[in-house]
Amino acid sequence: MMTFHREGRFIMLLSTLIFLGLSLMNYKFLAPAYCSLFWILELGFVVLLYLIVQFFRIPKRTCQGSDLDIMCPADGKVVVIEEVEETEYFKDKRIQVSIFMSPLNVHANYYPISGEVSYTKYHPGLFLVAWHPKSSTDNERSTCVVKHTNGTEVLFRQIAGALARRICYYAQTGDQAKQGEEFGFIKFGSRVDLFLPLGTKIDVVIGQKVQAKLTKLASLN
């Protein structure tokens, strides 16, 4: 079973209306005399509309993580696992795990752990490609930190990409986060970074395809 995200309702409606208008003009001006070109353009319109609509799909899933599991917050591919200096909140060394989302992935984002939201902040910025080294610090992004009941804090950051032009985040400081519940959405491409305590055992590898709510990234100590 699949539904569509509320963030896409206007875009899907507008895209459908534009598609119908283009199809009407295509039929009026090309169908009688240029049949082959008409069908090529019509197929292109259908494919484009399909890609826009499927971008906002939300598959029905049940989170499979236990209380101490750090579950994947987004669909995509693991592109970074490394020790870095986290400069916004922790201001110390952390293990960064980054998940790149292509335009074909589901783009809803989910809490990786349960706990209290202890920090949130939105940063306007650039729209560098999501794999650019400076996208983590220079692109439009939002930062959220959840503190587990055992005292461990996990930071995760939505990062806009070259195509992503709007980050939607719903988490607010003081909220009670529940593992597997949605905290945000990114429109058209991008990345999610997680910053975990040093010594955390990572259960994924670079290049691995992961799924939100289903793939275990690591475990809380």
Return the active site residues: 190
Which residues are within 8 A (CB) of 90 and not within 5 positions of it... i.e. 6 or more apart?
A: 153, 155, 195
Gap between the Cα atoms of 221 and 97, Å rounded: 17
* Helix, strand or coil, per DSSP, at residue 100: strand
| Beta pairing class for 209-210 and 57-59 | unpaired
Q: Rounded to the nearest 5 degrees, what angle is found at the Cα of 188, between the Cα atoms of 183 and 193?
A: 50
Which residues are within 8 A (CB) of 193 and not within 5 positions of it... i.e. 6 or more apart?
A: 80, 96, 97, 98, 99, 136, 156, 157, 159
Question: Which two tokens mark 109?
Answer: 């984002």
